[in-house]
Structure 1
């Protein structure tokens, strides 16, 4: 009987070894990059800005808490001025909200200057006084509810803040 148990144990061990030799794990990672060889708008530490942020709602009349992040413009030519604008008006639109919900306008500012769809210019001499080569000074990028206060309809609101950052081609 002992011989039979030894053979059974050997068979089970060989079967397990065979199964583990054929087991495999595949990991797929999607990698992407948005490349502009002239400029980058990144966090002040050089890492990417988040793809999404939550504007926290504070009931009782306060409305949405502003979001802010220190950013830098990284450039291959610190002698050129930089223009910044919004691609479209910044608003939160009701996606899944109570009937009657309306858009919530947002105000976006960079270094204390309000942005809209008309470009504003940042002077290279003021912008690139940083100790980091090729990087601008650290500047607060802020997104806030245009008019603070209650939002009268519950629900999920979303929107996109699209910034367009460009070097001044006419500047020598």
Structure 2
């Protein structure tokens, strides 16, 4: 009997050791930026990317970046003001001597955005194709004045949009 218990304990120890050798863990940090009234997302409803690369063509300048987006809202009867939180500029980060800021142009549905709000009316945005969602629109970021950049290196900067739903549409 003692021998059987000893063999069972040894078998259990080997089984437990085998399980621990094949164990894996995964850790995912999940976060959300919640505005219960309004959001700007990809046209399919997924989040916009946190980063976007503007490709550089020697002799020509930066290429543009574009994404199809929609404004999602819980009240499609209200107009929406859209503006930049700050001027969109690529700043030299790790660059050669002589590097300067590169101003960017940002547009939504072909309308250039700046620091002053641009009004998008509820009638032009929310035409009822998808409940709670605007029409599909291009969001584009490009070099403000196309042309060569003379200092090599890494340039970066945020493009921050602010959307405000008006209290009432007139």
- With the length of structure 1 as denominator, give the TM-score of the two structures: 0.87
Secondary structure in 2 matching 1:20: helix
CA apart distance, 1:100: 1.4
Matches within 5 A, 1:48-127: 48-60=47-59, 62-127=60-125
CA deviations over 1:127-165 (Å, ceiling 9, x no partner): 101410111011110000001010000000001000001
On the 8 A contact 2:109/2:139 being kept in 1, the answer is yes
| Distance of 1:157 and 1:28 partners within structure 2 | 32
Matched, 1:144 2:142: yes
- Unaligned 5+ segments in structure 2 are 1-9
| Distance of 1:154 and 1:95 partners within structure 2 | 11
Counterpart position of 1:34: 33
Secondary structure in 2 matching 1:17: helix
CA apart distance, 1:26: 2.4
Counterpart position of 1:5: none
| Distance of 1:13 and 1:149 partners within structure 2 | 72
Secondary structure in 1 matching 2:68: strand
| Distance of 2:162 and 2:13 partners within structure 1 | 61
CA apart distance, 1:46: 1.1
- Unaligned 5+ segments in structure 1 are 1-11
Structure 1 consecutive aligned stretches of length 4 or more whose deviation exceeds 4 Å = 12-16
On the 8 A contact 2:91/2:102 being kept in 1, the answer is yes
| Distance of 2:121 and 2:143 partners within structure 1 | 28
